Structure 1
């Protein structure tokens, strides 16, 4: 199984970049992971809904065909780390090849795109900067794998 973290925009903050890279490197010991960045739409300055639709198309095109799709959204399902680990374990047991997590821009994700994703996941009830969300997702995926393997990190 391969994780894909598909995000709108670049991760520019050097602190978030370093932390995200650290967790992605740790996660690579368990399973392949790829970080894909798509360009933020310039249309959002004039027309947010058109801009979000353009970003949604880019996100969809960046993900692998047939992937389990998960939109990160504050209105999504709230999980514990162990519950996320059960999702990951189920994907591994069923032979899922790709799992794509989508992180939108500061304007979020297009509503139709969000609905089209198989699942919606919230990292917090609070709104998070997309750079922080990317780092937290990488950490939680690493934590999920350590839970599945029975390793001590998750405690």
Structure 2
């Protein structure tokens, strides 16, 4: 199985970049994982919906074919780390080849795209900077793998 974190825009904050790189480096000891950045739409707020549709198309086209699609969204399901590890374990047991986690721009995700994803995940009830969400997702993926393997990190 391979994890794909597909995000709109580049990570500009060095602190988040360094932490994300650290967790991604740890995660790949368990299984393949990749960050994929797609460009942010340059459309103005008057054409916001068209911009969100463009970004959704770019994210989907950057993902592997046949992937499980997970939209990160504040309206998504909130899980404990152990519950998230159960999701990951179920995917592994079922022979899932790819899981793509989608993180939209500051404008969010296209509602239609979000609704088409098999799962929707919320990292917190609070709105988070998108760079922080990427870092937190990488950390939670690493934590999930340590829980599945029975390793002490998750405590």
| TM-score grouping bracket, smaller chain normalisation | over 0.9
The SS at the match of 1:73 is strand
Partner of 1:21: 21
Q: Give, in whole Å, the separation in 2 of the partners of 1:50 and 1:38.
A: 16
Query: Post-superposition shift, 1:59?
Result: 0.6
Give the superposition deviation at 1:47. Answer: 1.2
Residues 32-59 of structure 1: CA deviation (Å, up to 9, x unaligned): 0010000000014431111101101001
Q: Is the 8 A contact 1:44 1:52 kept in 2?
A: no
Q: Deviations over 1:6-62 (max 9, x none)?
A: 000001100000000000000000010010000000014431111101101001101
Q: Which residue pairs with 2:34 in the alignment?
A: 34
1:47 match: secondary structure: helix
Moved over 6 A (4+): none
1:43-122 equivalence runs, <5 A = 43-122=43-122
What whole-Å deviation, never above 9, does each CA across 1:54-86 have from its counterpart, x for those lacking one?
A: 101001101101000000000000000000000
Question: What root-mean-square deviation, in Å, do the aligned CA atoms of Structure 1 and Structure 2 show?
Answer: 0.6
Give me the whole-angstrom Cα distance separating, in 1, the residues matched to 2:114 and 2:144: 23
Q: Distance in 2 between matches of 1:20 and 1:61?
A: 23
How high is the TM-score relative to the length of structure 2? 0.99
Residue 135 of structure 2 aligns with which residue?
135
* Residues matched between the structures, number: 155
Q: Is the 8 A contact 1:44 1:50 kept in 2?
A: no
TM-score, structure 1 normalization: 0.99
Gaps of 5+ in 1: none
